[in-house]
Amino acid sequence: MQIAEYFSKKDFVPRIEVKPSEELNICVVIPSYNEPNLEKSLFALTRCKMPKRCVEVVVVVNHPEGSDQETIGLSEQSIKTVKDISLRYSNDRIQFFGVKAYDLPRKCAGVGLARQIGMDEAAYRLLQINNPNGIIACFDADAICMENYLVELENLWMQYPKTTACSIKYAHPTNGADFTDEIYSGIAGYELHLRYYNQASRHIGFPFSYHTIGSSMASSAKTYIKFGGMNRHQAGEDFYFLQKIIPHGNFRELNSTCIFPSPRPSNRVPFGTGRAMLKYLENKEEGITTYNLNSFLDLIPFFKIIGDFWDMNETQIKVAIGTFPKPLNIFLNENHASTEIIRVKQNTANKQSFYKRIFLWFDAFMLLKYLNYVNENFYTRQPVRDESIRLARLIDLPVSNAYTIELLDIYRKKDAEEWSPII
C-alpha cells in the first residue's frame, strides 16, 4: 500500500502539532484508558538509556462515547500526567505527547483503535522526515521495561536494517507487593500457557511460532503502512497485526532487553491476559488450563509431508489426509483442505514456493482454529503444568515434577534461545 493512499483512506489528520525532529527514529505508542499506573510506565521510559537518535512517546488517552464522569475525569488526569512528565523530562532526545482520543464510537472503541490512532500518528511523523525504517514500538500504560529498552530497539534495526517487525522479550512479575499471591500464581500459569503454546508450535514444525504480545512488539514505519496498519480489534489486536507480517520474512526476536507487563485482572477485553486472570480468580480450583499436547502432536505427520503434496493430485491428497489422526483428518476435510492445497499448487511455480504458500493457508489463524476445534470435540484442555511437563520431556528440557514457577523459568530460557524456522 502506498503511503499517500494509506493516509488518504484513513482521512488522517495529525493530532500532534509539534514538528518532529529530523533525528526522530523511535516512536513509543501507549494506549491509555482508565490507567492508574500511567505515571509509573512513563517513568520507566524516562529512566531508559537514550539511543543515538531521538525518541517520542505518544500516549493515546481514550474513552468511548457515553463514558461516565469518573472515566472522563481519569482521562483528563492522564493527559495532565503526560504534560507533567513532559515538562520534567522532555529534552532534545526524548519528547512526550498526550493525544486526546475521546468519545470513540462504542462499537469499535478499545485497545486496537487506540493503538491504531497512535501508530498512525507515529508512522506519519517518521515518514514526514523521510525515515521509513523508523521504529514504531508498542508499549502499555501498566508496563515497565529494562533501562536498555530503547537502545536495544535501535541496535536491532541498525544491525538488521531489513527487519520488518519484532517481538520483544517479556516477563510478567510473579512476586512482589503490588498484587496478591493469587494474582502472581495465576499469571505464572497464564504466561506458562503462552510459552507452552509457542514451544509446542515450534516442536511440531509450525514456521510462524512467535510471541505476539501488544506491550512488547515493534515494526518499522514502512512495514506498518505496507501491511495496512493496526486493526481495530478490541482484543487480540497484537496477534492479528503481527501475523499479517510474520509470514513474509525478516521478522526477528529481540531478547537483549525485556518488557514487564502487568498481571492485573481486567474485564475490559473479551480475551487475553486481563480476562484470563479474571477467569482464574473466579475459579482458582480449576487453575490455568491449556491445549492438550496430543492436539499439537497430531499435526506432525501433516507438516512433515506438506512438501510432498506438490507431486500429488487431489485424489492422492485426500488419501494422504485420510491417514492422519482422526481429529486432524476431520478438521482438514471440514475445511476443504484438498481443494485448498490444489488451489495453492495452481498458483505457485515450484515446490519451494508451494511449501511456503501452504503456510499462508494453514497459518497461525488456522492453527488456532484447529486447536480450538479439536480441544472442544476430541480432546479436553489440561492443566498447564501437566502439559508443559509432557512437552518439556519431549524437547529435552530439564524438568521432573517442577512447580509452575520453576517451569516458567525453564520455558523463559528456552524461548530466549535463537530459533530459525525451516521454511
Cβ contact 167:211 at 8 Å: yes
- Residue 278, pLDDT > 90, answer no
For residue 115 the three cell numbers come to: 493503538
Cβ contact 58:16 at 8 Å: yes
Bridge-based pairing of strands 135-138 and 217-220 is antiparallel
The distance from CA 250 to its chain's CA centroid, rounded to whole angstroms, is 16
Split at pLDDT 50, 70, 90, the class of 268 is low
For residue 339 the three cell numbers come to: 481443494
pLDDT digits (tens, 9 = 90+) for 95-106: 999 999 999 999
**Residue of 347, 323, 321, 349 whose CA lies nearest to 336:** 321
Phi and psi at residue 235, in whole multiples of 5°? -160, 155
- Residue 378, pLDDT > 80, answer yes
The average confidence (pLDDT) of the chain is: 93
pLDDT digits (tens, 9 = 90+) for 187-228: 999 999 999 999 999 999 999 999 999 999 999 999 999 999
User: What's the pLDDT at 1?
Assistant: 55
Q: Of 365 and 282, which is predicted with more confidence?
A: 365
Sequence-separated (6 or more) residues with CB below 8 Å from residue 195: 388, 408, 411, 412, 414, 415
User: What's the pLDDT at 281?
Assistant: 73
pLDDT digits (tens, 9 = 90+) for 283-318: 777 789 999 999 999 999 999 999 999 999 999 999
Average pLDDT estimate for 9-17: 91
Distances (CA, A) of 423 to 206, 251, 253, 314, 364: 9, 13, 17, 23, 15
CA distance between the termini of the chain? 26
User: What's the pLDDT at 269?
Assistant: 58
Question: Cα separation of 355 and 399, whole Å?
Answer: 35
Is the pTM of the predicted complex or chain greater than 0.75?
Answer: yes
Split at pLDDT 50, 70, 90, the class of 276 is confident
pLDDT digits (tens, 9 = 90+) for 114-170: 999 999 999 999 999 999 999 999 999 999 999 999 999 999 999 999 999 999 999
User: What's the pLDDT at 5?
Assistant: 87
Largest CA distance in the chain: 70
Least confident of 5-9, 118-122, 404-408: 5-9
User: What's the pLDDT at 421?
Assistant: 82
**Residue of 279, 222, 268 whose CA lies nearest to 35:** 268
pLDDT digits (tens, 9 = 90+) for 24-83: 999 999 999 988 889 999 999 999 999 999 999 999 999 999 999 999 999 999 999 999
Residue type, 294: N
**Residue of 263, 10, 15 whose CA lies nearest to 140:** 263
Question: Cα separation of 414 and 401, whole Å?
Answer: 18
User: What's the pLDDT at 267?
Assistant: 60
Question: Cα separation of 186 and 174, whole Å?
Answer: 9
The torsion region of residue 287 among left (phi > 0), alpha (psi -120 to 50) and beta comes to left
User: What's the pLDDT at 102?
Assistant: 96
